Amino acid sequence: MDTICISPIQDCPRYQELRVLYEIALALKGSELGIEIAFEKTLSLLKRHFYMDKSIYYALNDESNELEVLSSAGLSKRQEVLATYKVGEGATGLCAQFLEPVVIENIHQNILFLNKSCSLKKSEISYLAIPALSQNKLFGVLGVSLTQKSLCNIEEMVTILTITASLMAQSQQIYQTINDEKKRLKEEKLYYKEEILKQNEIIGYSPVIQDVLEIIGKVACTNSTIFISGETGTGKELIAKAIHNYSHRKEKPYIKLNCAAIPENLLETELFGHERGAFTDAKEMRKGRFELAHEGTLFLDEVGDLSLSLQAKLLRVLQEQEFERLGGTKTIKVDVRIVAATNRDIKEMVRQGSFREDLFYRLNVIPIHSPPLRDRGDDIILLACYFLERFCRRHGKERTLLPDAQMMLKEYTWPGNIRELENSMERIVLLAPSLHVNAQVIFSVLPAKTKIPTKEVETKADLEDLERQAIIRVLRESRGIKIKAAKKLGITNRQIGYKIQKYEICMQEYLE
Ligand SMILES: Nc1ncnc2c1ncn2[C@@H]1O[C@H](COP(=O)(O)OP(=O)(O)OP(=O)(O)O)[C@@H](O)[C@H]1O
């Protein structure tokens, strides 16, 4: 009986082709991390297995509409640069133009084979250009040149190369998507970083704030303790942050503790931390703000609210730069720069005995006074415009301050200082009915006792300003009805029309 001999599957040419495709798929796996190496492997696999002279992957440059070599097996770096084709140019370009494979059986006798890389050898016979498509979009062209040794059933080769080109296009697409996303996130990060920096900017040109900025510039890079005094909302925390940001500690932590916001019994733990089991709820060891601020800056806000017993503990840390966690015996050494602040009259507290004198002198090494807003002159308008712009951007609106509105802002006393101005500007952006914000709008957001300012009439401009304000007031009272307003003012309809035009009064604002 004849024995049937079954050849091992490895000897079957189909199996070999599948094997190459399998290896290509493996090479392209993980190509999102960097496609150059994966593509190089792929092209080398093709070249080696099918005895090609060279295999090249051209990526489509969307902007220039050119095919540029992304990776190759068989070309030198110089040849890669030379081998750039416009879409439609030569066999490679035609393949990209018509999104179809282009087969040149004899490259030595075909004008479509341009040989721009100047790398044509006698051994090369045929050239195949295959479009690399993913989701019907062209990403590039896979070009290979076959030799006498290449096992050449051209049709089969086109199939294998079409599968390979498609896998390469998909890899390129994923890689590009990830790269674009990374770029977008990087730009976004930069934008937010700048925004945060902008929000930490101390705005102001008035002499009083310039003095503060000068002191910050001089002392930020030292390790001296700083004591910031000033009314609520004057920017004491902003000053503390600026000191940290301008110091050599800026890359280290900036830690804040508001001494007034934490109950007395918890404040000690907040400052110094606690060991596990120090008290009933202490299930884990916890570091305090002093430890967290190691090598950085600790901002003690409302330090005037510390109890006398905590003042004594704080004094010890400031003197020795060491402490123990609550319930612990280990001494912890820290290197922390202290910036303290209060809006209370600390000297008076020292006189009355509610703030330790020795602690006050320890903290008050470099005193900085944050001036109230009412003393900052034109900075009020500068800050108002700064906040107006910020809130307009945030709420997608457009608003501008008219001169009478600016005058009113300047004349108000701002007991809540810059914080009050900031909040008022946000309300104005949200409530102002139209682009031009006038004194009436400001009046409606400020506390009731505020008066619409009246100015002495000295010049023609003052007189005109007064006339403008009177017309606006009457227009508002008349709900934008011109004839009614004219009657109230005792002028004709034509006269009021002329003045509305002259003073560029926006009627839309007063119509209901
Ligand atoms: N010169 C300034 N330029 C821009 N924004 C400022 C300025 N001063 C203060 N601000 C802003 O005003 C608000 C209040 O400032 P901050 O919290 O620093 O005041 P504070 O004096 O620490 O207040 P408190 O005494 O209530 O703790 C913050 O939003 C801050 O960004």
Q: What is the pLDDT of residues 442-476, one digit of tens each?
A: 888 887 555 555 556 677 777 787 788 788 877 87
Residues 155 and 13 in one domain: yes
Q: What is the pLDDT of residues 298-343, one digit of tens each?
A: 999 999 999 998 899 899 989 888 898 988 888 999 999 999 999 9
Q: How far apart are CA 440 and CA 451, in angstroms?
A: 10
Angle at 26 between CA 24 and CA 30, to 5 degrees: 115
Cα–Cα distances in angstroms (integers) from residue 439 to residues 444, 445, 464, in the given order: 9, 10, 16
- Which of 150-159, 174-183, 410-419 shows the lowest per-residue confidence on average (mean pLDDT)? 150-159
Say whether both 440 and 475 belong to one domain.
no
Give the residue whose CA is nearest to atom 13 of ligand 1. Answer: 419
Q: Residues 418, 503: one domain?
A: no
Query: How many angstroms separate the alpha carbon of residue 216 from the centre of ligand 1?
Result: 16
Q: pLDDT at position 426, please?
A: 93
What pLDDT, on the 0 to 100 scale, is given for residue 470? 80
Test site for ligand 1: of 203, 205, 238, 257, most ligand atoms within 8 A of the Cβ: 238
Is 185 part of a structural domain of the chain? no
How close is the Cα of 202 to the center of ligand 1, in Å?
A: 9
Question: CA–CA separation, 512 vs 507, rounded Å?
Answer: 10
Which of 41-45, 277-281, 479-483 has the highest mean predicted lDDT (pLDDT)? 41-45
Q: In this structure, are 154 and 35 located in the same domain?
A: yes
With bands split at pLDDT 50, 70 and 90, how would you rate the model's confidence at 1?
very low
**Whole-number pLDDT of residue 357:** 96
Are residues 244 and 339 located together in one domain of the fold?
yes
Ligand 1 centroid–CA 105 distance in Å is: 77
Looking at residues 227-240, what average pLDDT do you find? 95
CA of residue 426 to ligand 1 center, whole Å = 15
Residues 99 and 16 in one domain: yes
Domain of 426, in residue numbers: 375-453
Nearby residues of 107 by Cβ (< 8 Å), 6 or more positions away: 113, 115, 120, 124, 125, 126, 127, 145
Q: Are residues 212 and 115 in the same domain?
A: no
Q: What is the CATH number of the domain that holds 463?
A: 1.10.10.60
Q: Residue 132 and residue 35: Cα distance in Å, rounded?
A: 15
What pLDDT, on the 0 to 100 scale, is given for residue 304? 93
Is residue 199, in this structure, part of any structural domain at all?
no
Number of domains composing the chain: 4
Residues whose beta carbon lies within 6 Å of some atom of ligand 1: 202-204, 230, 232-238, 301, 343, 370, 383, 418-419, 422
**Are 430 and 386 found together in one domain?**
yes
Do 82 and 118 meet the contact criterion of CB atoms below 8 Å apart?
Answer: yes
Same domain, 497 and 390: no
Tell me whether residue 14 is in a domain: yes
Question: Closest ligand 1 atom, CA of 237?
Answer: 18
- Segment 281-291 shows an average pLDDT of 88
> Which CATH number does the domain housing residue 319 bear?
3.40.50.300
Is the complex ipTM more than 0.85? Answer: yes
Average pLDDT over residues 160-173: 96
| Statement to judge: residues 232 and 356 lie in one domain | yes
Tally of CB atoms within 10 A around 498 = 12
Q: Is there a contact between 56 and 69 (Cβ–Cβ < 8 Å)?
A: yes
- Mean pLDDT in residue range 173-189: 89
- Are 172 and 28 members of one domain? yes
Same domain, 445 and 463: no
Residue 152 has pLDDT above 70, yes or no: no
How many CA atoms are closer than 13 Å to the CA of 298, on its beta-carbon side?
26
Residues 387-440 pLDDT 10s: 999 899 888 899 999 999 999 999 889 999 999 999 999 999 998 888 899 888
- Tell me which residue has its CA closest to atom 25 in ligand 1: 232
CATH code of the domain in which 70 resides? 3.30.450.40
What confidence score (pLDDT) does residue 450 get? 52
Q: CA of 371: how far to CAs of 303, 361, 413, 430, in Å? A: 19, 21, 13, 29
Q: What is the mean pLDDT of the chain?
A: 88
CB 482 within 8 A of CB 493: yes
Query: Mutate which of 244, 375, 419, 425 to test ligand 1's pocket (most atoms within 8 Å of Cβ)?
Result: 419
In angstroms, what is the span from residue 445 Cα to ligand 1's centroid? 20
Cβ-based neighbour number of residue 495 at 10 Å = 12
